[in-house]
Amino acid sequence: MDIAYCADCGRLFQKSGLLICKDCLRKQDALFETVKAYIREHGQASMAEISEALDVPVEKLIRYMQEGRLILGKHIDYPCERCGNPIHTGRMCEPCMTIVQSDMAKAARDLSALAGDARRTDAGAGTGGYRSRRL
Ligand SMILES: [Zn+2]
Ligand SMILES: [Zn+2]
């Protein structure tokens, strides 16, 4: 059984590919509905207004947007994690995504070149991964 601490309420819960427990998930879904309804009514509301009206911290709204689960509207933006340019969804702006993706592809190529015949250890980090830590 995989047990983890809920990212929202901090309680232990049975992990099932989610970061938060079922209670928080239910609350979150209800919150999304409330936020969406609020945006339908107040189309041009700012993030601060939504946060205040619905009593949701701005950081939470941003996190939901970064996770792509909530889109507040084109007029609401928050900074790209990499360069700080305003974005509306996800964690980074498109130019940064492109850069990071090509960096990752390059790193993966370097890694597989380095790994060479040690490729059999793809069982995952959980089991015996400590055996081949040296790069
Ligand atoms: Zn929770
Ligand atoms: Zn960026």
- Over residues 86-98, the pLDDT tens digits come to 998 899 999 999 9
Q: Which amino acid is at 4?
A: A
Ligand 2 centroid to Cα of residue 80, in Å, is 5
Ligand 1 centroid to Cα of residue 26, in Å, is 9
Q: Which ligand is nearest to the CA of 97?
A: 2
Q: Taking 90 as the threshold, does the pLDDT of residue 127 lie above it? A: no
Euclidean distance between CA atoms 33 and 55, whole angstroms: 14
Q: Which ligand is nearest to the CA of 83?
A: 2
Q: Taking 70 as the threshold, does the pLDDT of residue 128 lie above it? A: no
Per the document, the length of the chain is 135
> Could you report the per-residue pLDDT of 37-93, keeping only the tens digit for each?
999 999 889 999 999 999 999 998 998 899 888 888 888 899 999 999 999 889 999
Global pTM value: 0.65
Tell me how many helices (H) and strands (E) the chain has. Answer: 4, 4
Ligand 2 centroid to Cα of residue 97, in Å, is 7
Give which of 91, 61, 60 is closest to 76, Cα–Cα: 61
First to last CA, the chain: 32
Ligand 1 centroid to Cα of residue 28, in Å, is 10
Q: Which ligand is nearest to the CA of 84?
A: 2
State which residues have CB under 5 angstroms from ligand 1, the bound ion. Answer: 6, 8-9, 21, 24
